[in-house]
Chains A and B, each alone.
Chain A
């Protein structure tokens, strides 16, 4: 089954403790992206990747890092999480990243930073 898999689904952590949220897709997609969803703000793009070793900032990249060493994986790294990063995070992918392509989303990761 074609899917985008995020782990974990829920994560509670404390300020400053480094964490990684994993994202993997099995569709051989070139494009992957991370979003955060906050009430009243919708989804905001954090980072995206057009291919292996090619990443770029979205609208809200501060406090986040990403890497794309393999085509299928696109982890989101919070080196020193802060409470304002408490949010629902989604990973998405598409075939090439063209702006007319459908995005495939993971089920989300609810992060709470205390």
Chain B
């Protein structure tokens, strides 16, 4: 069965500093990979996704993620964090051999300090 692990429950970062959020997945093949962001009181919004091809993908709001097959990882990065990036971030996988089922990680809460 597929699974997603986000090792960091909570990260505090200073405004202007870089940010990296970790995501590891367990799956028989390379799944479809996603990062979503949840701002306070809001639903989830897609930041970026990876299917195949270039292992570095660009998303919205200046985020990027790198797929590393050898490490089963799909880490999210941002070079310079803004106060508005404070939110909860979820990594998710979609199975390539079935429709309709998605697995989400437990989420990483990001706090941005002045």
Contacts and interface: CB of A to CB of B under 8 A. Distances in A.
A42 B105 contact: yes
B43 A99 contact: no
A48 B42 contact: no
17 contacts: A41-B106, A42-B6, A42-B90, A43-B104, A45-B102, A50-B99, A50-B100, A56-B100, A96-B99, A97-B100, A99-B94, A99-B99, A101-B94, A103-B36, A103-B102, A105-B44, A108-B43
A74 interface: no
A100 B52 CA distance: 11
Contacts of B105: 42
B9 A40 contact: yes
Category for how many chain A residues contact B:
20 to 34
A106 interface: yes
Interface of A: 4, 31, 33, 35, 40-45, 48, 50, 56, 58, 90, 92, 96-103, 105-108
Interface string B86-107: 0000101011101111111111
Contacts of A40: 9, 106
A44 B105 CA distance: 9
A22 to B, nearest CB: 15
A45 B32 CA distance: 17
B28 interface: no
A102 B43 CA distance: 13
Contacts of B90: 42-43
A35 B103 CA distance: 10
A33 B43 CA distance: 14
B13 to A, nearest CB: 21
